[in-house]
């Protein structure tokens, strides 16, 4: 997981991901989009794509002589899950705690059968 956040720590790589969020693109297309943010060369974009691919955030597939890059949803989902766990570390306990709260609430109510559990041999008969 560390590699994912290291990859996301670079502004250029975040711009690459933003460009790829619109759909599959070739490295040349990514260069064109990124040049709006500043000067970057084809080898520079290729380096950033490699880092993102190794971090599990980008996939690549060959189509003829071109290589098409896309956002890897599984990598982003893993990052989201980790962030959710950090943001709410007690989330895994939510359901068991809800069940406990229900049982506590039941214990506060009057019992349905007031004589249940009472020794009836001590009752007085008339």
Whether 88 maps to a domain, the answer reads yes
pLDDT of 104 above 90:
no
Whether 118 maps to a domain, the answer reads no
Mean pLDDT of 13-18: 91
Domain that holds residue 45: 1-109
Asked if 52 and 8 touch (Cβ cutoff 8 Å), the reply is: no
Confidence of residue 101 (pLDDT cuts 50, 70, 90): confident
pLDDT of 120 above 60:
no
pLDDT of 85 above 90:
no
The DSSP secondary structure of 51-94, one letter per residue, reads HHHHTTSEEEEEETTEEEEEE-HHHHHHHHHHHHHHH-TTGGGH
pLDDT over 90 percentage in the chain: 33
Whether 126 maps to a domain, the answer reads no
Whether 75 maps to a domain, the answer reads yes
| CATH code (residue 89) | 1.10.10.10
Q: What's the pLDDT at 38? A: 78
CA angle, residues 66, 69, 72, in degrees to nearest 5: 150
**Structure tokens of 64?**
């003829």
Residue-wise pLDDT tens digits, 23-75: 999 998 999 888 887 778 889 999 999 999 999 999 999 999 999 999 999 88
**Structure tokens of 78?**
């893993």
Whether 21 maps to a domain, the answer reads yes
Better pLDDT: 49 or 9: 49
Q: How many domains does the chain have?
A: 1
**Structure tokens of 123?**
């009752």
Whether 116 maps to a domain, the answer reads no
Q: What is the pTM of this model?
A: 0.64
């Amino acid at each position: 997981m560390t590699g994912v956040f290291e990859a996301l720590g670079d502004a250029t790589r975040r711009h690459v991901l933003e460009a790829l969020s619109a759909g599959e693109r070739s490295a040349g297309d990514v260069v064109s989009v990124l040049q709006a943010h500043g000067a970057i060369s084809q080898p520079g974009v290729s380096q950033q794509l490699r880092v993102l691919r190794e971090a599990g955030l980008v996939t690549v597939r060959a189509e003829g002589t071109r290589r098409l890059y896309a956002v890897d949803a599984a990598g982003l989902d893993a990052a989201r899950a980790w962030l959710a766990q950090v943001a709410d570390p007690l989330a895994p306990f939510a359901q068991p705690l809800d069940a406990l709260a229900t049982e506590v609430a039941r214990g506060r109510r009057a019992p349905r059968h007031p004589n249940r559990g009472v020794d009836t041999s001590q009752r007085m008969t008339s």
